[in-house]
Amino acid sequence: MVTTDDTKNPMPTSADGHLRVVLLLDVHEGQEQRFLAAYDQIRHQVASVPGHISDQLCQSLGNSSQWLITSEWESAEPFLSWVDSDAHRALVEPLHNCVTDTRSLRFVIARQTPETGFGHGRGPSERAARAARAAAGVTPGRPVTGRPARSTDPLPAPPLASGGLVRHAIAFTVKPGSEERVAEILSGYESPRAQVDETTRLCRTSLFMRGNQVVRAVEVKGDLGNALRHVAMQPEVRRVEEAINPYLEEARDLADPTSARAFFAHAALPAVRHAADGRPADGGEVTRHAFLYPVRRGHAVDAARLLGEHDVKAAAAAGSPLAQSTMFARDDLLMRMVDLRRPYQEVPGHAAGLDSGTVEQLRLHLDFGDPTFAADEPALARFLAGCAMRPITDRVSASS
């Protein structure tokens, strides 16, 4: 539907001549809503262009900043006529400040299954599909949200991408009494190869424990799904996963793909908010910590968003000790991972992400244990002591 590549390439032809146009692009951080608004404006106007059949907008399951726009045309000629027009250039202008790394690909459709209604979107099967979408309230060309995730999908939604990195975590519990043995296993393995493929690299893995709760957070450049599959195939990682199996509270069979997917789907702890000050770290100046918050049931994501809003402002303040923070949340589990430029005991407010205003907002979502809890230093110190997780391992790839 939309392209920012105006080069005129010779187009192959076929008996039907239907053309598929594919546009790959990255959306700048913080520009997602502007991008979606621009797309919505464009798709309604392009629908009336002669020769246009359909279009679709997709978001990457492995990286939320990566998007795909596809469109189908009756032939190459109407598409090329439109893409070379002044009207097209004016129409796509709002996208230019939202996206980067665009790549336009064009293909003539050679085969299609099913063949009924080939290329026209007017056959019985397509009419039935449209009726089903309409009954479900789904608008073609618009991202579908609010669907319940499949229980065996380890990445039920596109993971958070920020600052060029995709962040994700998994959380699981081990049998009480096995904590020290599990910590020994999880800290003693050889790191897998960081480079996954030409576009994906495993940058950092940070693992924390509190009681029998384990959380492993990863930072990936590129596609998270590719990185997780790469790591799962490494012999040293497989040995570790097999070694902790007897200690897990939730049983799993890694030899059974369905069992493995179901485990990692249930263990998924998505990143929902990230804040950073944008300053480079100097050597060992920045230290990473993690805190497990006392969340009221079902309120983790709401609490994470409020904490994230506080951290965005805190990180932007001049001289702030908060280098960056990431909130990982689902249901009633919330971990806040922070990089601080000072020991967290010296800056409890920044370490906890709390001030007097934030505490009042969070009373509905967090169980402070005391209705009179206030954001003074002694109270914050006690709060952090009850939330601090034990660092087990923090592995950074050489080029990260």
Give yes or no: residues 117 and 200 share one domain. no
Give yes or no: residues 279 and 319 share one domain. yes
The single-letter code of the amino acid at 309 is E
DSSP code for 246: G
Distance CA 341, CA 271 (A): 22
CATH code: domain of residue 301 = 3.30.70.100
User: According to the model, what pLDDT value does residue 134 have?
Assistant: 40
Domain region containing 172:
161-396
Return the bridge partners of 295, or none. 366
CA torsion 67→307→171→222, rounded to 10°? 30
Question: Does the pTM exceed 0.85?
Answer: no
Any domain includes 148? no
Any domain includes 143? no
Give yes or no: residues 227 and 348 share one domain. yes
Give yes or no: residues 212 and 304 share one domain. yes
User: According to the model, what pLDDT value does residue 16 have?
Assistant: 59
Give yes or no: residues 73 and 205 share one domain. no
User: According to the model, what pLDDT value does residue 373 have?
Assistant: 92
As for how many domains the chain has, the answer is 2
Any domain includes 323? yes
User: According to the model, what pLDDT value does residue 129 have?
Assistant: 40
Measured on CA atoms in the order 115, 120, 123, 128, is the torsion positive or negative?
positive
Give yes or no: residues 103 and 245 share one domain. no
Q: What are 95's two structure tokens?
A: 């996208």
State how far the alpha carbon of 259 is from the alpha carbons of 38, 119, 249, 255, in Å. Answer: 41, 39, 14, 8
Please report, in tens digits, the pLDDT of each residue of the chain (400 residues total). 554 444 444 444 444 578 899 988 888 887 888 888 888 888 888 888 888 999 999 988 888 888 899 999 888 888 888 887 888 878 888 887 788 777 888 888 887 776 544 444 444 334 434 443 343 343 333 333 443 444 667 776 788 888 788 999 999 999 999 999 999 999 988 888 888 888 889 999 999 999 999 999 999 998 888 888 888 888 888 899 999 999 999 988 888 888 888 888 899 999 999 999 888 766 568 999 999 999 999 999 999 999 999 999 999 999 899 999 999 999 889 999 999 999 999 999 999 999 999 999 999 999 998 889 998 999 999 999 999 999 999 999 876 5
Any domain includes 112? yes
Give yes or no: residues 248 and 307 share one domain. yes
User: According to the model, what pLDDT value does residue 124 have?
Assistant: 39
Give yes or no: residues 255 and 376 share one domain. yes
Give yes or no: residues 213 and 83 share one domain. no
User: According to the model, what pLDDT value does residue 189 have?
Assistant: 83
Q: List, as own/partner pairs, every contact residues 376-380 make where C-beta atoms lie below 8 angstroms and the sequence separation is at least 24, other chains included.
A: 377/348, 377/349, 380/348, 380/349, 380/351, 380/352, 380/354
Pairing status of strand 66-73 against strand 201-210? unpaired
